[in-house]
Structure 1
Amino acid sequence: MANQHIRIRLKAFDHHLIDKSASEIVETAKRTGAHVKGPIPLPTKKERYTILISPHVNKDARDQYEIRTHKRMMDIIDPTDKTVDALMKLDLSAGVDVQIKLN
């Protein structure tokens, strides 16, 4: 697989979980002889929801909730067949969304 690279993007709500998964991927790729760039932290997406807690009036009484989506990206340069097999067999934590692109 000469002159190719694999781009892996991870998404999760828990930053500890995404960092653990990213380190597992980097460790697996380096163990099989591939060169890894990353993990690169991408901007965190923050979604805020404001809800009125009063059933009738009192516009000032509100609660705010927030969901943060953490993202990481890494490139695996010149992956070997052994690297691809090891990454396919890798079991990551539940709650981590993985996108893989082969260029």
Structure 2
Amino acid sequence: MSQKIRIKLKSYDHNLVDKSAEKIVKTVKTTGAVVSGPIPLPTHKRIFTVLRSAFVNKKSREQFELS
């Protein structure tokens, strides 16, 4: 019977994700298991623009980012 494990890593720092993935792959290979991956997923970035003032100063805006 074949067993599979899927691991998804999330972080704000891509270097940390890369290092963690390398450690996981190295550990799995020492046990003799078959490794497929890591497969990089696309990053999502949503930007919202909000007016700072409710009445005047239409040109004064603030941007917020969600990953």
TM-score for both structures, normalised by structure 1: 0.55
The answer for the alignment partner of 2:65 in structure 1 is 66
The answer for the alignment partner of 2:2 in structure 1 is 3
Letter in 2 for 1:12: S
What percentage of aligned pairs have identical amino acids? 57
Task: Report 1 or 2 for greater relative contact order, CA contacts < 8 Å, sequence distance ≥ 6.
Answer: 1
Cα shift at 1:21: 1.1
Verify the 8 A CA contact 1:52 1:61 in the aligned structure 2.
yes
Aligned length: 67
Verify the 8 A CA contact 1:10 1:18 in the aligned structure 2.
yes
Letter in 1 for 2:42: P
Verify the 8 A CA contact 1:49 1:66 in the aligned structure 2.
yes
The answer for the alignment partner of 2:31 in structure 1 is 32
Verify the 8 A CA contact 1:13 1:67 in the aligned structure 2.
no
- Structure 1 unaligned segments of length 5 or more: list them: 69-103
Alignment partners' CA distance in 2, 1:32 and 1:64: 47
Letter in 2 for 1:60: K
| Runs ≥4 residues deviating over 6 A | none
Alignment partners' CA distance in 1, 2:24 and 2:31: 11
Letter in 1 for 2:49: T
Range with greater deviation from structure 2 (15-24 or 51-60): 51-60
Cα shift at 1:55: 6.0
Q: 1:38-77, aligned counterparts within 5 Å?
A: 38-54=37-53, 56-68=55-67
Larger radius of gyration: 2
